[in-house]
Structure 1
Amino acid sequence: MFHDSVAPTSAIDRVAFRLLKWLTLTCDVIGVLLLAGVLLMLVAAVAMRDVLGLGLPWTEEMASMLAIYAVGVGSLSAWVRGEHLAVDLFSHRLPKLARAVQFRLCAIISCGFFALAAWGAWLMAESSAYNRTVSLGISFSYLYYGILIGFAGMTVLSLWQALRGEVTWRSVADMNEEHPDA
């Protein structure tokens, strides 16, 4: 979405464009690092068990936590890019006004769902604060915080979409088609 896009001309859209570009890049880097950590934990556990005959029970808990956080931050990046699963049967056939209304309505419904899911993750984090993992002895709340990050972030993003409406960043290729001499 952003790699070949030109920043919009409106000041507020330019700020949003840069902020969302920074958010997706940051989430992508963090997600890749977290998934690399998961892979490293699993390889270390297998190598220690099979080569040295030593068990590392804490790696399973850490790999689970890292995977949850990777999904949480990755969902933000996917939401900004519009890469979550969507069923679009008739939107392209709607007139411009109806399409704008449909987009905002979907964003409002999504915002409500995400807010409810974030609230549920918060409640689960609070209720499991004194439950501890077996190997590391850390609170299960930290697992739910990864889910909370994802849903709270998508709540904010979908609220922005509902307020702003659909934004299509113009790619460099689109600009060149309009002005071939430029």
Structure 2
Amino acid sequence: MLQVSGIPRGRVDRTAFYLLRGVTLVCDAIGVLLLASVLLMIVAAVVVRDIIGAGLPWTEEIASLLAIYAVGFGSLSAWVRGEHLLVDLFSHRLSRRARAVQYRLTALLSCGFFVLAAWGAWIMSDMSANNRTVSLGISFSYLYYGIFLGFAGMAVLSAWQTLRGMVDWQPVADTHQESP
């Protein structure tokens, strides 16, 4: 496929390129804001406890909720960029066609896992709807929605990877190094 400055020329690929780029930027921005909020909550709790002598027991609940959503958005962003942990034992020995088949098979298996994990998070959110946190009384369902969000997003992306296959413009962890 011909590329101009890393941007694909085909209409569908160009749309996917910009969509994935947007998803990554939004997920990264939200993840950073959520993690900064977690840090702010922890600092506020320590300052109020040590300087003022009062407690903020609700900060632990909010920090946990924000951290779960930060992980959900961060995992989605990492999946788009191909930065999740990868164990590559034999891919470098495969032909280009065999690597393409391996890529689609791995994406398909990943999609199945992500769908099951998202479904499990959704079921757990339903099962824990009446369980509430101690200080604020927030339903535990909101914790599971963050997990659902990350797995459902990765399921959609891995389904797209299964259908589309490898593309030159999408970052993929490639340990195959050509010798000169």
TM-score (norm 1): 0.90
Q: Which residue in 1 is equivalent to 2:41? A: 41
Structure 1: which 5+ runs fail to align? 172-182
Q: Which residue in 1 is equivalent to 2:164? A: 164
**Structure 1 ranges of 4+ moved more than 3 A:** none
Using the alignment, how far apart are the partners of 2:34 and 2:133 within structure 1?
Answer: 20
Query: Is contact 2:104-2:162 (8 Å) kept?
Result: yes
Residue 140 of structure 2 corresponds to residue 140 of structure 1: yes
Q: Summarize the Cα distance change of 1:95–1:39 in structure 2 as closer, same or farther, 3 Å threshold.
A: same
Query: Is contact 2:17-2:170 (8 Å) kept?
Result: no
Matched residue type, 1:31: G
Q: Secondary structure at the match of 2:56?
A: coil
Aligned residues: 167
User: For 1:18-39, what per-residue CA distance to the aligned partner results, in whole angstroms no more than 9, with x for missing partners?
Assistant: 0000000000000000000000
Query: Is contact 1:8-1:170 (8 Å) kept?
Result: no
Q: Summarize the Cα distance change of 1:170–1:35 in structure 2 as closer, same or farther, 3 Å threshold.
A: closer
Deviates further, 161-170 or 113-122: 161-170
Q: Secondary structure at the match of 1:106?
A: helix
Mapping 1:89-168, distance limit 5 Å: 89-168=89-168
Q: Which residue in 2 is equivalent to 1:81? A: 81
Matched residue type, 1:42: I
Query: Is contact 2:20-2:80 (8 Å) kept?
Result: yes
Deviates further, 7-16 or 162-171: 162-171
TM-score (norm 2): 0.91
Q: Secondary structure at the match of 1:139?
A: coil
Q: Which residue in 2 is equivalent to 1:26? A: 26
Q: Which residue in 2 is equivalent to 1:176? A: none
Following superposition, the deviation at residue 6 of structure 1 comes to: 2.1
Using the alignment, how far apart are the partners of 2:24 and 2:12 within structure 1?
Answer: 18
Following superposition, the deviation at residue 165 of structure 1 comes to: 0.2
Residue 62 of structure 2 corresponds to residue 62 of structure 1: yes
Query: Is contact 2:108-2:162 (8 Å) kept?
Result: yes
Using the alignment, how far apart are the partners of 1:166 and 1:49 within structure 2?
Answer: 53
Following superposition, the deviation at residue 170 of structure 1 comes to: 7.8
Following superposition, the deviation at residue 167 of structure 1 comes to: 1.5
User: For 1:91-115, what per-residue CA distance to the aligned partner results, in whole angstroms no more than 9, with x for missing partners?
Assistant: 1221111111100000000000000
Query: Is contact 2:81-2:170 (8 Å) kept?
Result: no
Percent identical: 72
